[in-house]
Amino acid sequence: MKPIKLNIKSKSGVYPIIIGSNLISRLSKILKDNSVNYNKCLLVIDRNVPSKMINKISKSIKSKNIYKYSFKSSEKNKSQKSVNEILEVLLTKNFSRQDCLIAVGGGITGDVSGYAASIFKRGLQFVNMPTTLLSQVDSSVGGKTGINTKYGKNLIGNFYQPKIVISDSAFLRTLPNREIICGYGEILKHSLIKNRNFYNYLNNNILNILKLKTPFIEKVIFESCKIKKIIVEKDENEKNLRKVLNFGHTFAHAFEATLGFSNKLNHGEAVILGIVSALKFSLKNKYIKKKEFMFVIDHIKKSKMPSEIQDYFSIKNLNRLLSFMIKDKKNISNKINLILLKKIGSPLINNQYSVKKIKSFLKQELSN
């Protein structure tokens, strides 16, 4: 399949997303063709990436000054400590702003690497090579970088656009099924907030997509990136419209933080649970009709994705869940902001609810 190119416009210029299979064998040419020139290159590599893929990348990059930093990707390591370790390599090897940092890994690797690149000498060339489905369809697009703290997820960071994003579907075939489900959660989110036709395509082709069959998987990666492109180009710094991309995420981030960012529930699974919670809250407040609600819930259950928060939490977790929702960065004043759904393709932005109302909803969900 011929690679697909999608250009993203940002305040700092235009950068491409290249989508295709076995792109890493042509990495050096792709970088050169897209004006990514450098003397030194630091590869920040997720330890989950198979060595055979790393070897292909190393052979493809034509530079004598290649350095590697092995990153143990986890929400706990999405920290200032990890950023400092990357900066230490860049400083001791005397990198300049004209050199390059390439992130090879999932969303966490991209977020941490991008943040390090953004603050090194006020901006180092950054290339994102997402290796998970979740990162290829979501976190690698739009320039968000950042780290977690003990107070919550992604509370420190900035917007820093890459020079190029290279999404090679060959990486996906090295992943366990759990990672594919996680990425699919973000694909589903994009369809729900923007495009009913895309949702129908997902609903009709779910098995081929989850089995990573061509051209189904490449099409959904492209369509997801296109939806995010439209949104981030209109609102790069998340002043209003871009908030719609947080559909399900206010709940999701609280779910992750309550479990201490453990492997019991990873980000993509938390997003799916968050989408279910946002849909239930939309139904409870009579924004979405029951038939439309069930159309989505049936799809989630048919796809064997996580759908019940009681499988992960009990009423004992209520106050802790609420405490993290209160700290969410999208909130205004003392109210909790939620992105809700009226119907597929029609989201509701800037919905502010009292802590009391959210607590009542969570209490009911955890008690069922």
Q: What is the pLDDT of residues 242-286, one digit of tens each?
A: 889 999 999 999 999 999 988 899 889 999 999 999 999 999 999
Q: pLDDT for 194-211, tens place per residue?
A: 999 999 999 999 999 999
The reported pTM is 0.88
For residues 195 and 104, membership in a common domain is answered with no
165 and 200: one domain?
A: no
Angle, nearest 10°, between helix axes 177-194 and 196-210? 170
How many helical (H) and strand (E) elements, i.e. helices and strands, does the chain have? Answer: 13, 11
What pLDDT is stored for residue 239 in this prediction? 76
356 and 318 both lie in a single domain: yes
pLDDT at 304: 87
Q: Which of 149, 174, 199 is where one domain is finished?
A: 174
The residue from 174, 189, 215 where one domain ends is 174
Q: Give the residue numbers spanning the domain of 66.
A: 4-174
Are 143 and 183 found together in one domain? no
Q: What is the pLDDT of residue 152?
A: 84
What is the reported pLDDT for 108? 95
pLDDT of amino acid 232: 86
DSSP 142: S
CA distance 337 to 298: 26
H or E stretch covering 165? strand 164-168
**Model pLDDT for residues 74-114, shown as the tens digit of each residue:** 989 999 999 999 999 999 999 999 999 999 999 999 999 99
In the prediction, which pLDDT does 86 show?
98
User: Does residue 193 sit in the same domain as residue 151?
Assistant: no
Domain count, the chain: 2
Tell whether 158 and 244 lie within a shared domain.
Answer: no
Residues 6/17, Cβ–Cβ less than 8 Å: yes
The two three-digit tokens of residue 221, written as one number: 């990666």
Take residue 207 and report the two structure tokens written for it: 């098995």
Q: What is the pLDDT of residue 238?
A: 72
Instruction: Dump pLDDT digits (tens) for 55-77.
Output: 999 888 877 799 999 999 998 99
Q: Where are the alpha helices (DSSP H) in the chain?
A: 27-33, 51-60, 80-92, 107-119, 133-134, 177-194, 196-210, 216-234, 249-258, 267-284, 290-302, 318-326, 355-367
pLDDT at position 151 is 86
Verify that 327 and 340 share a domain, yes or no. yes
Residue 53 above 90 pLDDT?
yes
CATH number for the domain including 330?
A: 1.20.1090.10
Residues 204, 277 within the same domain? yes
CA 363 to chain centre: 28
Partners of 323 in the β-ladder: none
How confident is the model at residue 139, as a pLDDT?
Answer: 87
Give the residue from 152, 174, 196 where a domain finishes. Answer: 174
pLDDT on residue 251: 97
Confidence of residue 350 (pLDDT cuts 50, 70, 90): confident
Q: Quick one: 60 and 98 in the same domain? A: yes
First to last CA, the chain: 48
Residue 8 CB partners (closer than 8 Å, separation 6+): 14, 15, 16, 17, 141, 142, 161, 229, 232, 233
58, 159: one domain: yes
Average pLDDT of the chain, as a whole number: 93
Q: What is the tens place of the pLDDT at every residue in 292-316?
A: 999 999 999 988 899 999 999 999 9
| Residue 217 and residue 76 in one domain | no
Q: How would residue 51 be classed by pLDDT, with cut points 50, 70 and 90? A: very high
Dihedral pair phi/psi, residue 323, rounded to 5°: -60, -35
Q: Give dist(CA 231, CA 226) in Å, integer.
A: 9
236 has pLDDT over 80: no
Please tell me whether residues 313 and 328 are part of one structural domain.
yes
> What is the Cα–Cα distance from 332 to 337, expressed in whole angstroms?
7
3-state class (DSSP) for residue 331: coil
Predicted confidence (pLDDT) per residue in 148-185, tens digit: 998 888 899 999 999 999 999 999 999 999 999 999 99
Rounded CA-CA distance 52/242 in Å is: 37
CATH of the domain at 130: 3.40.50.1970
- pLDDT value of residue 303: 87
Highest-confidence segment of 20-24, 116-120, 327-331? 116-120
pLDDT at 360: 96
